[in-house]
Amino acid sequence: MIEHSERCGDDGTDEPCPICRGEELDPDFLAMIERAAAQPGKAMSFDEAMEWLDTL
């Protein structure tokens, strides 16, 4: 299992998230991330990106 900053379980469960379980992610979600990455502007730090993802 690939851990990402021990963030699994932040949703109130003790279960690993879909990323850590190695599940295929929703294509619409991936497309949204790709569109956001293609926008010009300031690059986010890892922590900023994780905060942004948590708001989705």
Residue 34 in this model has a pLDDT that exceeds 80: yes
What pTM did the predictor assign?
A: 0.45
Q: Does 45 score more than 70 pLDDT?
A: yes
DSSP per residue, 3-31:
-STT-TTTTS-SSPPHHHHTPPPPHHHHH
| Termini Cα distance of the chain | 23
**How do residues 2-21 score in pLDDT, each as one tens digit?**
445 556 665 566 677 777 77
Greater model confidence, 7 or 43: 43
Rg (alpha carbons) of the chain, rounded to whole number: 13
Nearest to 20 by CA among 5, 42, 37, 35: 5
Give the HSE-up count for residue 28: Cα atoms under 13 Å, Cβ half-sphere: 1
Predicted local distance difference test score (pLDDT) of residue 43 = 78
